[in-house]
Amino acid sequence: MSLDLDQALQTYIAEARELLQDMEDSLLRLESDPNDADTIGAIFRAAHTIKGSAGLFGLDPIVSFTHIVEDVLDRVRDGDVVIEPNLIAVLLESGDHMLHLVNVVAAQGEKLDADAIKREGGLRIRLQAYQDNSSEVSHAIQVEAEIPLQSSGGGLVETDNWHISLRFGQNVMRDGMDPLSFLRYLSTLGEIVSITTMFDALPIADEMDAESCYLGFEIDFKSEADKATIAGVFEFAREGSLIHILPPHSKLTEYVELIRSLPESETRLGEILVTTGALTQQELEAGLSEQQTSARPDGSTTPLGEILVEQRSVEHEVVQAALDKQTQSKDSKSKENRYIRVQADKLDELINMVGELVIAGAGVSLLAQRVSDNPLQEAASVMSGLVEEIRDGALRLRMVPIGETFNRFQRVVRDVGRELGKDIELVITGADTELDKTVVEKIGDPLMHLVRNAMDHGIESAAIRQATGKSVKGTLRLNAYHDSGSIVIEIVDDGGGLNRDRILQKARDRGLIAPNVTPPDQEIYNMIFEAGFSTAEAITNLSGRGVGMDVVKRNITALRGTVSLDSAVGQGTTVSIRLPLTLAIIDGFLVGVGKSSYIVPLDMVHECIELTENDRQAASERSYLNLRGEVLPFVMLRDHFEVEGSGARRANVVVVSCAGQKAGLVVDELMGEFQTVIKPLGKIFSTLRGISGSTILGSGEVALILDVPSLVQQAVNRESQHVSTRQVIH
């Protein structure tokens, strides 16, 4: 396979996957609104495009199966098949199989295995049922159509037959041609369902010429041939004759859909109509000739579309679709330079290079400060500003909306809900919230687990909900929003909630919580994220709620994120995931503890204060500071990381906030803002608590990036335990 062909195939594979995703989304919308003609048309166009493009590459398995799907969708579009749940189900499963075909046949160049062949056979049988049912309807329409139609010549044909309005020129017999021979030749291309002879041009007997033809014919013609082939029958009799060929009603819609599916390009109206077969070249030439000879009173020319409709060469609906395509092509032409498909690994490479540029720029700025050269410092400052703009621009290239990930759960909620016998509605908000593509790709599996858990163990059965006065239909919400430089994803269900007392008792039995300590409710609920914590005995009617939750938490933590859980009995449960917007580069605040340097994500820094002597003395006795009357739990980084030395005489507190909670980080030195390129730590450091990564300073030294959410939670928990202990003592 040549390089160009291989690239074209890869483009087809990517586009086919996108079309199948769009097809699935449209089918789910169609389930709630079966009469949405635009959605039906979009689904048909997706299948038609996938089949047509597959044919170009000789992907026969895709063409063969998709043709059946397309045929059923065509009958749905024509109204021969009614949208109902079973049809939606088989079309969704067909879409899954088409995706499998694309991945195996197109992407891997392999043949289907036995399971896939068996699955396809079952789908073909189920699809055939809709073809058979609709065939009976079509047959009934056809029987009615066999009654001869008296037509005045033209108009929209409401059957599956072509309508040919034929008026031979008077000299056709003098030119050596037999009009009936054309009709006999026409019958070789199909079936003449009905024919009506028109006598309107017949003169009185005294004026008749035996060698002249005065008859016309109105013909209903059933054929699979295209318009150009049918028009070719009368090629030799075209001069002096009036010939109008009107497509079947179904064919009319096919022309419209075909025009809409054409690639965006600057194409003239006539060329669009000829390309799709709605107009023959001779009809176009006749229309252009008429346009040149006719002029309006104001001197302007009559639009070609109007002329073609007046000549009955094409229907108004088809002309309008072609005009819409022209407008769409012009609009897309002005935007085509704004969009380009780029491979993801090239973006990753760009981000890595920008990261190295940031490190190099920091080194230049440091050297400029050391030599005390003002022009050099000014140049370094300008360069730093440009590097920052390049960094932000490069990161924006990888930012994608979370909505695409959320929408994939529409299908999950539908299928799992049916499997569980529960009626559950998925409500999505914040779909436009953007975050790094890498984060989106890695958050899919944890979200899937949480959504399934919420449906299986969170939302009650219809009987239980009805008994408790709830709506029979459960609601599951996916929400996303930005907060303090992070993205927060919420999975909210309106189910029965968690049993706080049973979780607390189970945690005490396992030694996770001291017998005489009662932590806050949220901390109790978060116990289900402990490995193997949740069992049937742990949470009565929500047995299994925490199974695998430790894996969810581990995957989210690997993304430098946090997960928390809150619940109310009888009202539901909320799982909150907080993730960084990007995994590559962040703005940081550089601090020093002894000879070590640490980076605090700048968007989490609230303020910096000096640690007074009184606070330093009290720090050994308590785990909080008095921040203008507010209790501020803190973490001594020197003690946390076991840094050697007694510490600086003058210490500082960096006040950080995360998820609405504040804490202080006690450090020796404040060193200012710093653009941070995140370098992941190796597996050997994966157990370090409070560290999320590393970076390289301009001096070449390594600085550790603090895991602020973990440190804040640690400080808050320690303070809560101290408070609980004091309450028990008193």
Which runs of consecutive H residues, i.e. helices, occur in 233-315?
249-260, 269-275, 281-293, 304-310
pLDDT in tens, 455-478: 988 899 999 999 988 999 999 999
CATH number among 3.40.50.300, 3.40.718.10, 3.30.565.10, 2.60.40.10, domain 410-580: 3.30.565.10
pLDDT at position 157 is: 42
pLDDT at position 591 is: 93
Half-sphere exposure of 329 (CA within 13 A, CB side): 18
Homologous superfamily of the 3-144 domain (CATH)? HPT domain (1.20.120.160)
Q: How confident is the model at residue 263 (pLDDT cuts 50, 70, 90)?
A: low
Pairing type for strands 596-601 and 702-706 reads parallel
Asked whether the predicted pLDDT for residue 559 surpasses 70, the reply is yes
Homologous superfamily of the 585-729 domain (CATH)? SH3 Domains (2.30.30.40)
Tokens of 398: 């990888």
Over residues 408-429, the mean pLDDT reads 90
DSSP conformational letter for 679? B
Asked whether the predicted pLDDT for residue 249 surpasses 90, the reply is no
Instruction: Look at phi and psi of residue 660 and say left if phi exceeds 0, alpha if psi is from -120 to 50, else beta.
Output: left
Q: What is the mean pLDDT of the chain?
A: 79
Angle ∠(533,535,540) on CA atoms, nearest 5: 120
Q: How confident is the model at residue 564 (pLDDT cuts 50, 70, 90)?
A: confident
Angle ∠(712,718,720) on CA atoms, nearest 5: 100
- Which of the listed ranges 189-193, 345-349, 478-482 does the model predict with the highest average pLDDT? 478-482
Q: How confident is the model at residue 1 (pLDDT cuts 50, 70, 90)?
A: very low
Contact 668, 638 (CB under 8 A): yes
Contact 272, 325 (CB under 8 A): yes
Residue in 638, 634, 691 with CA at minimum distance from that of residue 663: 634
Per cent of the chain over pLDDT 70 is 83
**CA–CA gap between residue 279 and residue 718 (Å, rounded):** 80
Which runs of consecutive H residues, i.e. helices, occur in 454-581?
462-467, 500-509, 521-525, 549-558
**CA–CA gap between residue 663 and residue 481 (Å, rounded):** 23
Partners of 702 in the β-ladder: 696
Q: How confident is the model at residue 27 (pLDDT cuts 50, 70, 90)?
A: very high
Q: How confident is the model at residue 725 (pLDDT cuts 50, 70, 90)?
A: low
Longest dimension (CA), the chain: 130
Q: How confident is the model at residue 277 (pLDDT cuts 50, 70, 90)?
A: low
pLDDT at position 542 is: 36
Q: How confident is the model at residue 451 (pLDDT cuts 50, 70, 90)?
A: very high
Residue in 576, 573, 456, 449 with CA at minimum distance from that of residue 503: 573
Q: How confident is the model at residue 96 (pLDDT cuts 50, 70, 90)?
A: very high
pLDDT at position 723 is: 55
**CA–CA gap between residue 485 and residue 267 (Å, rounded):** 47
| Distance spanning both ends of the chain, measured CA to CA | 81
The model scores a pTM over 0.85: no
pLDDT at position 145 is: 32
pLDDT at position 33 is: 85
pLDDT in tens, 480-531: 998 877 899 999 999 988 888 888 888 888 777 877 777 778 788 888 887 7
pLDDT at position 134 is: 43
